[in-house]
């Protein structure tokens, strides 16, 4: 359902999915075409470039921009090589897009952006945002983000998203015109406030705990993996010293010289091979990182549920107390302590006219309150329904993706072992000739 972007009220979104349609969406694994934008359009983040310019406070700054290329799917099959449409975006614009989506689709588990700063680094990787390896991995992460949004059942049809991909100029203004910023600020405040909810949906409570556990365990895994990678690097590189010493030693030997020399070359190759191995492992780490950040999005949705539930409970509480006040006023009995009651006792009863006026006001308030409760109730229900659909979709996606990641990790290990076998067999051949 397209969001025209000009309305202030948050559209809950695709709440009328039939069960079979939900199932259909569930079957669509991420980054595959379904009822999504990807059916019509190919999207990629093709390049990254450094730019310098003046920032908001008129100071020189260097930043990186990323080239987004889009191409209609049909055109690609008809012509040999149609030139794609393209525009440049920087990271902060991606952030703006994501914040907009978060506010506009509160029920959705919004795909995360790649990390702003390099974390979980091991010694070889620089923590510098300008480092080419970091920029490259970020490019991949940004492309992944766009593809995920483009294949999300609700998010993919958003107009602002479409404009992000197609309109370079004036996009920022368009986003701000939606007025999402105001909503964002109040929402943020509400989300960060502490409140106690009496009757949250148990599934959401469990999901929040799961989100906490997922974040904790993936963080730990990333840390441990980075340390192990660091050590593995050391092991491989020290073997390079064998290369050097074998070479020097071969110079003083007659029969052993050739064998030693060639064995030394294989030791050098062994030492060098670790760079590729660890580069590949970084991709695996990036896949884990995506789900680390996803866990945050998951928890946000659960928190939003708590917020809507809380607002409902507050409205109910308010209505109940108003009804009670009306009853007391109507029957003249004061069941609960109230300042009004005390003052009326002290300063005398109200006149019948005053009471009449008060009752009338209360009636109106109760009427409004009942409307509010009804509204909030349906809001809550809608939210729970659509959020749970997206959470189920997310679960399927996560299970599929992470299983694929584990498989790709195993494939990496296998490749590393095969390289090791080859190198040491070659070295053995050389040693045989010593």
Partner 1 sequence: MLRLLSQQLRLNERDLHDTSTTQTDGSSFNASMQTSPASMINQYKFEEEEEDADTKDIFVTVDNPESHVTAIETYITYRVETKTTRSEFDSSEFEVRRRYQDFLWLKGRLEEAHPTLIVHPLPEKFVMKGMVERFNEDFIETRRRALHKFLNKIAEHPIFSSSEDFKIFLTAGSGELTSHKKQGPGFLSRMGETVKAVAAAVRGVRNRPQEFTDMQEYAEAFSQKISSLDKVTQRIVREQKEYLEELKECGPTYALWSQSEQELAEPLKNVAGCVDNCCKETEEQVKHLNDHLIPVLHEYVLCADTLKAVLRRRDNIQADFEGKTEALATKKADRDAMRDELDKAEDRLEWANNALKTDWTRWQKVMRTDLRSAFIDTAERNVSYYEKCLAVWESFLQSQRTDAEGNGNVDSS
Residues that bind partner 1 (CB under 8 A): 26-27, 29, 210, 213-214, 217-218, 220-221, 224-225, 227-228, 230-232, 234-235, 238-239, 241-242, 245, 248-249, 252, 255-256, 259, 263, 396, 398-400, 402-403, 406-407, 409-411, 413-414, 417-418, 420-421, 424-425, 427-428, 431-432, 434
Q: Roughly how many angstroms between the first and final C-alpha of the chain, as a whole number?
A: 74
Comparing CB distances to partner 1, the nearer of 190 and 434 is: 434
Comparing CB distances to partner 1, the nearer of 21 and 318 is: 21
Do the Cβ atoms of 434 and 260 come closer than 8 Å? Answer: yes
Residue with tokens 């390079």, as numbered in its chain: 240
Comparing CB distances to partner 1, the nearer of 172 and 231 is: 231
Q: What's the rounded Cα separation, in Å, for the pair 360 and 190? A: 33
The token pair at 157 is 């049809």
Comparing CB distances to partner 1, the nearer of 10 and 412 is: 412
Report in angstroms how near the CB of residue 265 gets to partner 1 at its nearest.
Answer: 14
The residues, ordered by sequence, that sit 6+ positions from 9 with a Cβ below 8 Å of its Cβ are: none
Q: What's the rounded Cα separation, in Å, for the pair 347 and 185? A: 45
The residues, ordered by sequence, that sit 6+ positions from 265 with a Cβ below 8 Å of its Cβ are: 243
Do the Cβ atoms of 123 and 229 come closer than 8 Å? Answer: no
Comparing CB distances to partner 1, the nearer of 40 and 244 is: 244
Can you name the residues that pair with 70 across neighbouring β-strands? 43, 85
Report in angstroms how near the CB of residue 374 gets to partner 1 at its nearest.
Answer: 36
Comparing CB distances to partner 1, the nearer of 1 and 245 is: 245
Report in angstroms how near the CB of residue 145 gets to partner 1 at its nearest.
Answer: 23
Residue with tokens 């003052």, as numbered in its chain: 343
Comparing CB distances to partner 1, the nearer of 231 and 340 is: 231
Comparing CB distances to partner 1, the nearer of 241 and 320 is: 241
Following CA atoms 133, 138, 140, 144 in sequence, which dihedral angle do they give, to the nearest 10 degrees?
160
Comparing CB distances to partner 1, the nearer of 88 and 424 is: 424
Q: What's the rounded Cα separation, in Å, for the pair 139 and 387? A: 29
Question: CA of 83: how far to CAs of 86, 127, 136, 377, in Å?
Answer: 9, 36, 23, 51
Report in angstroms how near the CB of residue 41 gets to partner 1 at its nearest.
Answer: 25
Instruction: Kindly give the interhelix angle for 19-27 and 352-432, rounded to the nearest 10 degrees.
Output: 30
Report in angstroms how near the CB of residue 421 gets to partner 1 at its nearest.
Answer: 5
Report in angstroms how near the CB of residue 402 gets to partner 1 at its nearest.
Answer: 6
Report in angstroms how near the CB of residue 219 gets to partner 1 at its nearest.
Answer: 10
Do the Cβ atoms of 107 and 15 come closer than 8 Å? Answer: no
Report in angstroms how near the CB of residue 358 gets to partner 1 at its nearest.
Answer: 55
The token pair at 387 is 């959020």
Comparing CB distances to partner 1, the nearer of 46 and 217 is: 217
Report in angstroms how near the CB of residue 366 gets to partner 1 at its nearest.
Answer: 46
Can you name the residues that pair with 63 across neighbouring β-strands? 51
Q: What's the rounded Cα separation, in Å, for the pair 14 and 154? A: 6
Do the Cβ atoms of 298 and 408 come closer than 8 Å? Answer: no
Do the Cβ atoms of 43 and 72 come closer than 8 Å? Answer: no
Report in angstroms how near the CB of residue 393 gets to partner 1 at its nearest.
Answer: 12
């Amino acid at each position: 359902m397209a969001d025209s972007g000009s309305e202030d009220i948050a559209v809950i979104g695709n709440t009328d999915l039939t069960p079979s349609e939900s199932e259909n969406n569930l079957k669509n694994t991420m980054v595959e075409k379904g009822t999504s934008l990807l059916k019509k359009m190919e999207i990629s983040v093709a390049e990254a470039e450094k730019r310098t310019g003046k920032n908001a406070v008129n100071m020189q700054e260097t930043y990186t921009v990323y080239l987004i290329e889009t191409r209609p799917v049909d055109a690609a099959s008809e012509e040999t090589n149609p030139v794609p449409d393209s525009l440049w975006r920087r990271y902060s614009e991606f952030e703006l897009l994501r914040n907009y989506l978060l506010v506009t689709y509160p029920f959705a588990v919004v795909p995360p952006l790649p990390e702003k700063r390099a974390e979980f680094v091991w010694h070889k990787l620089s923590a510098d945002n300008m480092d080419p390896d970091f920029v490259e991995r970020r490019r991949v992460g940004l492309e992944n983000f766009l593809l995920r949004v483009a294949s999300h059942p609700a998010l993919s049809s958003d107009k602002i998203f479409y404009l992000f991909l197609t309109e370079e100029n004036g996009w920022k203004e368009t986003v701000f015109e939606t007025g999402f910023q105001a909503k964002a600020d109040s929402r943020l405040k509400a989300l960060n406030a502490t409140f106690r909810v009496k009757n949250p949906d148990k599934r959401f409570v469990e999901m929040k705990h799961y989100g906490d556990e997922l974040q904790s365990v993936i963080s730990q895994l990333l840390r441990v993996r980075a340390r192990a990678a660091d050590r593995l690097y050391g092991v491989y590189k020290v073997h390079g010293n064998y290369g050097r010493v074998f070479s020097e030693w071969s110079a003083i030997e007659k029969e052993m010289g050739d064998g030693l020399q060639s064995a030394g070359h294989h030791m050098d190759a062994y030492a060098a091979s670790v760079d590729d191995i660890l580069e590949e492992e970084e991709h695996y780490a990036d896949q884990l990182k995506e789900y680390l950040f996803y866990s945050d999005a998951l928890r946000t949705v659960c928190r939003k549920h708590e917020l809507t539930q809380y607002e409902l409970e507050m409205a109910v509480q308010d209505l109940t107390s108003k009804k009670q006040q009306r009853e007391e006023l109507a029957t003249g009995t004061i069941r609960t302590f109230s300042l009004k009651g005390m003052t009326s006792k002290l300063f005398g009863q109200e006149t019948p006219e005053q009471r009449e006026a008060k009752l009338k006001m209360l009636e109106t308030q109760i009427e409004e309150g009942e409307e509010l409760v009804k509204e909030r109730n349906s809001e809550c229900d809608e939210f729970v329904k659509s959020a749970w659909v997206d959470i189920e979709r997310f679960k399927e996606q996560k299970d599929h993706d992470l299983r694929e990641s584990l498989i790709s990790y195993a494939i990496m290990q296998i490749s590393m072992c095969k390289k090791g076998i080859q190198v040491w067999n070659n070295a053995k051949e050389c040693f045989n000739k010593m």
